[in-house]
Structure 1
Amino acid sequence: MTTYLEPTQASGRALMMRGLTGPVVMLNLLRFRDVADYSADPGLAPDSPISGAEAFDRYVAHTDPFLRETGGEVIFMGEGGPFLIGPEAEYWDRVMLVRQASLDAFMAFADHAAYLEGIGHRTAALQDSRLLPIAPMA
């Protein structure tokens, strides 16, 4: 099973080539690890094991100030589950919609040094994910 946790150079280039202007909403589909894996960033690890969902909550708490600083906000976060229409075996633990003021604002957020210091919570939390940038229809 292929998992997706980070953008590729090709997907980043394709996003920039879309020429999106104005607000962008990021649809996040998130599947958590049963137990968070901090092996890639042990300095962020809590004293005792936590769930992937708890690690992601730490990521959201860390991220929110930097998201707001660049004009973004979480506009929806909810519990996922299996699809009504879609692959029967596929499920997502959580769904999140994040509004960014613009693609440039998103890039400023994603490159913010203080934000990146806590990204290890996201890495520890996720087993798999999808991120779909959505632009309003004209």
Structure 2
Amino acid sequence: MRGFDISPLLRSSIGFENLNRLVEYAGRIDAGDAYPPYNIEKTGEGSYRIQMAVAGFARQELDLTVQENTLLVTGQAASDNDAQERVFLHRGIAKRAFERRFQLADTIKVIGASFENGLLNIDLLREIPEHKKPRKVDIAAAGTGDGLAIAAE
């Protein structure tokens, strides 16, 4: 199921040229790549939080980078000097390096991050620019003036 035909959606849409790219990106995501687990929650009107379970990592071993519309979260475990002395009978807490990408909309901004009790919290806020907010369009009568008038709400 790699090929999706979204042409019926594009017939009634304007300005969604990258929709096809996003659908293909979603199709490439490997379902087996579930490390580290995360939640995405809506915390208020226009505010969101990504919460990642990064047990075993220190705050200094985590890195957040925002470039264009992509949030990149990476974790690189520091070398453990006492690893030679430790013998694990069972190792269930994974502390392997990871890289997780989140595709952000143009209006979503990363406003902060915190680390507490093995959970990385990334706070996001939707900021809609004035020119993208809904506005009313007045319809002029035929033969009066030069066309449409736009009134901001």
- TM-score of the pair, normalised by structure 2: 0.24
More helix by percentage: 1
Between structures 1 and 2, the one with greater strand share: 2
In terms of Rg, which structure is larger?
2
Q: Which has the higher contact order (CA 8 A, sep 6+)?
A: 1
The alignment's TM-score, normalised by the length of structure 1, stands at 0.26
